[in-house]
Amino acid sequence: MDRELPEGLFGAGVVGAPMAGGPSRPPLAEAVSASGGLGFLAGGYKAPDALAREVDELSATGLAFGVNLFVPADEPVDREAVLAYRERLRPLAERLGVELPEPRWADDDAYPAKLAHLLERRPAVVSFTFALPPAGDVASLRRAGVFVLQTVTSPDEARAAEELGVDGVVAQHAAAGGHFGAFLPAPAFAGPLPELVAAVRAAVGIPVLAAGGIGTAEAARAVRAAGAGAVQLGTAFLRTPEAGTNPVQRAALADPSFERTAQTRAFSGKTARGLENSFMREYADAPAGYPTVHYLTAPLRAAAVAAGDAQGTNLWAGTAWKEAREEPAADVVARFAV
């Protein structure tokens, strides 16, 4: 018999997606949870102590919430390609007056410390993205009473996650904004999100959440009808006052001159979807190499944000970005609630 989501924890059936890099700050997570959804903190790119402080801040509210961790993936990096990309970026860096850093080849080596903080603090939910965590980490969290989720992009990934022992999976469609969480070498699921949800639901006996391109209540109803126990929304929250979305991205989301989203490796070395801008077009052939490319382009992106230049920084957004509104997070939860 298929398991269902814990009663009460996902009450409104709305999850605030963990968006690393600023948007998913404590005020947004608190607002989502206080409105009957489940707010999330994003652990990606944060120092362990900074993440611990945010968890402590949110824990003090007494609300249930989740925390997401990027799992370091042992992916080969073509060093020569990354170094050549660095040289291609050098003229832009000189125009902006910034220094390109030496390549940082290691992944997020702070993962063990972040996990230790979460085992000590025991948030209601911990989710993993980019790769499967060690089985021992999942078992330790579950013994601590934490509900464990894994981001998957296909039925095969869902089966692997279930075998690992997680409590549920987030079925992420390629329409999602930000980084694509695939960890098995296979083409992206070809059908729409409801079909992905149905396929994942048929493949596993654990709860399935849906993510990617959900911009309307009708879209949310469609994925719930396909078997999703809850919807995970990211882009829908980016224009809320509680989100830590930088002003350049916030303005771009409402700018009619942006006509489409596209997937790119130009900013981070890992496939991610955002509003298509000139940086993405110019460096469409950027090499794979996460997080090396992410750290390499960081000063360029920071300079673009400082200058108010939406053409020179990542503008992560899903395909339904035009549906995102400038409204309180509570209103977003209400629009998409069960």
CATH of the domain at 182: 3.20.20.70
- Whether pTM > 0.85 for this model: the answer is yes
Token digits of residue 27: 């005020």
95 and 195 housed in the same domain: no
49 and 92 housed in the same domain: no
Q: Taking the CA of residue 322 as centre, how many other CA atoms within 13 Å lie in the half-sphere pointing to its CB?
A: 7
222 and 304 housed in the same domain: no
209 and 281 housed in the same domain: no
113 and 89 housed in the same domain: no
23 and 158 housed in the same domain: yes
What total of structural domains would you count in the chain?
2
Lowest mean pLDDT among 6-10, 215-219, 293-297: 6-10
Q: Is the pLDDT of residue 139 over 90?
A: yes
10 and 149 housed in the same domain: yes
211 and 289 housed in the same domain: no
- Locate all alpha helices (DSSP H) within the chain, ordered by sequence: 26-34, 48-59, 79-96, 111-121, 135-143, 155-164, 193-203, 217-225, 247-253, 278-282, 292-306, 329-336
Interval 166-204: pLDDT, tens: 999 999 999 999 999 999 999 889 999 999 999 999 999
Average pLDDT over residues 104-129: 91
Q: Is the pLDDT of residue 108 over 60?
A: no
Q: Is the pLDDT of residue 50 over 60?
A: yes
236 and 306 housed in the same domain: no
Question: What's the pLDDT band for 157 if we cut at 50, 70, 90?
Answer: very high
274 and 140 housed in the same domain: no
The residue segments making up the domain with residue 102 are 75-106+259-314
178 and 82 housed in the same domain: no
183 and 278 housed in the same domain: no
Q: Is the pLDDT of residue 141 over 90?
A: yes
Q: How far apart are CA 193 and CA 197, in angstroms?
A: 6
Phi, psi of 225 (to 5 degrees): -65, -30
